[in-house]
């Protein structure tokens, strides 16, 4: 997954659910790439700069591969808990934010009469509101995200362990207890917090100290948010890995994935082998042969 602002209206939630449903096959393929599953062989190609390279099929080809094995129904495996998680998380965020009476950071772009102190006050209130909303969203939706991820991860080992919502809840609780529902939640939460803090600070600084034209300021927010989401993407890769790590599925144990002691050790190893951004590009993907010592290091 990627950073998403908490939905606070029924119409925006409905639109988000529709988008999630339509794009689920692509997100399914992206998730499998994030956890390191590459069933299709690399092929000779060239980079954008014309250099020879080994390429990997893009997410659309990956979806075709999933479809060839499981059909269209299989391409939507895990979509139901994902949509439930989106709904529960959005409602939790909206409820929490509703108790907070604070300004909005967009006010900084509209009112030129505000003093520096007033602008900072609005910024702080807006950041606090966003942090509270995203925190509630993350922790409320994580159990359903874990179920969705594990349903999709069964594609790797062809298991049928997580069949439905209630049976999956019972399975996770029986094997891992309450903590199992929050596998991978910390890196996801950290990514959201960094996204909120960094994007808010950069937007505020640019709009108040670098750009005087209010029409140009309208481009600041989407541009900064896109760049910031790229910076924190690595935390969502780690979260995806930890949500299935050592859960009894083939996708989460050797040789497909090392058993990680914590999300920090997962991040450290992915960083060591340049894998923190896997899945970030749906179109241009390149293959880098893993070092020969990878399995030895992972198991050590």
User: Taking the domains of the chain in order of start, what are their residue ranges?
Assistant: 10-299
Compute CA 148 distance to the chain's CA centroid, rounded to the nearest angstrom: 13
Higher pLDDT, 79 or 98: 79
For residues 181 and 143, the answer to whether their CB atoms sit within 8 Å is yes
233 DSSP assignment: H
- Rounded average pLDDT over 200-211: 85
- Angle between helix axes 116-157 and 165-176 (nearest 10 degrees) is 90
Tokens 């309208």 — which residue? 218
Q: What per-residue confidence (pLDDT) applies to 102?
A: 52
Output the CATH code of domain 10-299: 1.50.40.10
Q: What per-residue confidence (pLDDT) applies to 122?
A: 83
The answer to which of 19-33, 77-91, 206-220, 268-282 has the lowest mean pLDDT is 206-220
For residues 27 and 34, the answer to whether their CB atoms sit within 8 Å is no
Work out the pLDDT band at 292, boundaries 50, 70, 90.
very low
The beta strands (E) that lie in the chain are given as 43-46, 52-56, 285-286
Q: What per-residue confidence (pLDDT) applies to 224?
A: 92
Cα–Cα distance measured from residue 13 to residue 122, given in angstroms and rounded to the nearest whole number = 26
Percent helix, strand and coil across the chain, each to the nearest 5: 65, 5, 30
As a residue count, the chain comes to 300
Q: At 275, list the tokens.
A: 């894998």
CB atoms within 10 A of CB 49: 6
Work out the pLDDT band at 300, boundaries 50, 70, 90.
very low
Tokens 């996770």 — which residue? 172
- What b/e readout covers 83-101, taking b as 16+ CB neighbours within 10 angstroms? bbbbbbbbbbbbebbeeee
């Amino acid at each position: 997954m990627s950073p998403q602002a908490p939905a606070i209206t029924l119409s925006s939630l409905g639109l988000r659910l529709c988008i999630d449903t339509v794009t689920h096959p692509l997100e399914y393929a992206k998730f499998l790439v994030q956890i390191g599953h590459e069933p299709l062989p690399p092929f000779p190609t060239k980079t954008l700069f014309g250099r020879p390279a080994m390429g990997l099929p893009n997410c659309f080809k990956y979806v075709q591969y999933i479809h060839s094995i499981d059909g269209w129904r299989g391409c939507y495996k895990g979509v139901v808990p994902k949509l439930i998680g989106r709904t529960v998380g959005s409602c939790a965020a909206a409820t929490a934010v509703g108790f907070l009476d604070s300004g909005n950071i967009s006010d900084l772009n509209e009112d030129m009469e505000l003093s520096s102190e007033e602008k900072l006050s609005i910024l702080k209130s807006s950041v606090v509101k966003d942090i509270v909303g995203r925190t509630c969203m993350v922790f409320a939706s994580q159990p359903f995200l874990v179920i969705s991820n594990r349903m999709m991860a069964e594609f790797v080992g062809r298991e049928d362990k997580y069949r439905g919502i209630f049976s999956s809840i019972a399975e996770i609780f029986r094997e891992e207890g309450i903590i199992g529902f929050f596998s991978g939640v910390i890196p996801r939460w950290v990514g959201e917090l960094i996204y909120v803090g960094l994007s808010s600070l950069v937007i505020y600084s640019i709009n108040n100290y670098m750009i005087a034209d209010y029409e140009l300021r309208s481009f600041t927010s989407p541009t900064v948010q896109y760049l910031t989401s790229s910076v924190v993407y690595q935390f969502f890769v780690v979260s995806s890995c930890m949500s299935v790590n050592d859960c009894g599925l083939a996708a989460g144990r050797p040789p497909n994935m090392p058993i990680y002691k914590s999300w920090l050790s997962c991040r450290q190893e992915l960083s060591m082998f340049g894998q923190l951004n896997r899945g970030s590009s749906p179109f241009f993907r390149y293959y880098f042969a893993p070092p020969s010592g990878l399995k030895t290091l992972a198991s050590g």
